[in-house]
């Protein structure tokens, strides 16, 4: 195996980790017993964390060694979307993770609709721009959106699975405090909208400049 294929293998591994995470999340949705919820959340959290971190690792490898490939440009964002959107969808039904004092459901259905709409929009825009032979990579807004999204989705799983205690970082248990949790939620939603608007602006400028050159 050539070393340059390593980022693509990591991307494929992220899909496998996502499917494994969904396996535990599916059982978590149905679980009622607190000890069972804790066990399932524990495994789902570590799988989700490993998959999320793999995204930054494969991207770093590809950029550092100039191992960027056509397959990677397509598969990497697809793997991200499967992991993040799939986890968000499961959390809409994970009532066992809810806590007294929460201001909203962990993942309201309208929130998932907004996340999906943004991803469909960006995918369509990217396809339109790249069909003109221009590159349309992720920008800093999209990357920050992804980081905050991963952080938000990890909080209820990690806290329910007692992961902060395993890591001896007990202060992280406070991330599930309702006021902090809702702030992270709205930050995620705000970056979702902001990054979508920014992608539209970038696409308009690129397509306009391309038309002017013709």
SS3 assignment for the chain: CCHHHHHHHHHHHHHHHHHHHHHHHHHHHHCCCHHHHHHHHHHHHHHHHHHHHHHHHHHHHHHHHCCCCHHHHHHHHHHHHHHHHHHHHHHCCCHHHCCCCCCCCCCCHHHHHHHHHHHHHHHHHHHHHHCCCCCCCCCHHHHHHHHHHHHHHHHHHHHHCCHHHHCCCHHHHHHHCHHHHHHHHHHHHHHHHHHHHHHHHHHHHHHHHHHHHC
Whole-model pTM? 0.87
Place of tokens 């391309």: 210
Please calculate the CA angle 40-41-42 and round it to the nearest 5 degrees: 90
Model pLDDT for residues 60-71, shown as the tens digit of each residue: 666 776 666 666
- pLDDT for 78 equals 85
- pLDDT for 193 equals 94
How many CB atoms sit inside 10 A of residue 75's CB? 18
Quote the CA–CA distance of 127 and 124 in Å, as a whole number: 5
Model pLDDT for residues 118-150, shown as the tens digit of each residue: 998 888 888 888 777 777 777 788 889 999 999
Residue 160 near residue 25, CB atoms below 8 Å: no
Domains of the chain: 3-213 (1.20.120)
- pLDDT for 42 equals 95
Which residues of the chain, if any, have pLDDT below 70?
1-5, 58-62, 65-73, 210-214
Residue 52 near residue 169, CB atoms below 8 Å: no
- pLDDT for 19 equals 95
Render the burial of 132-157: b for 16+ CB within 10 Å, e for the rest.
eeeebebeebbeebbebbbebbbbbb
Span between the terminal Cα atoms of the chain, in Å? 43
- pLDDT for 70 equals 61
């Amino acid at each position: 195996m050539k070393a340059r294929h390593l980022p693509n293998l990591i991307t494929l591994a992220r899909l496998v980790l996502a499917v494994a995470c969904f396996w535990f999340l599916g059982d978590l949705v149905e679980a009622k017993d607190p000890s069972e919820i804790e066990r399932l959340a524990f495994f789902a959290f570590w799988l989700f964390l490993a998959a999320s971190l793999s995204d930054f690792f494969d991207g770093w490898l590809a950029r550092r060694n100039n191992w960027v490939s056509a397959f990677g440009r397509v598969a990497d964002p697809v793997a991200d979307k499967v992991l993040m959107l799939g986890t968000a969808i499961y959390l809409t039904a994970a009532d066992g993770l809810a806590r007294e004092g929460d201001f909203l459901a962990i993942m309201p259905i309208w929130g998932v609709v907004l996340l999906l709409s943004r991803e469909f929009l960006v995918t369509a825009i990217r396809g339109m721009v790249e069909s003109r032979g221009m590159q349309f990579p992720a920008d800093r807004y999209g990357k920050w959106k992804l980081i905050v999204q991963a952080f938000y989705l990890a909080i209820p799983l990690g806290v329910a699975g007692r992961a902060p205690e395993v890591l001896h970082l007990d202060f992280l248990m406070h991330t599930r405090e309702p006021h902090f949790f809702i702030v992270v939620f709205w930050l995620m939603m705000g970056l979702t909208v902001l990054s979508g608007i920014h992608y539209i602006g970038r696409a308009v400028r690129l397509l306009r400049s391309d038309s002017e050159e013709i």
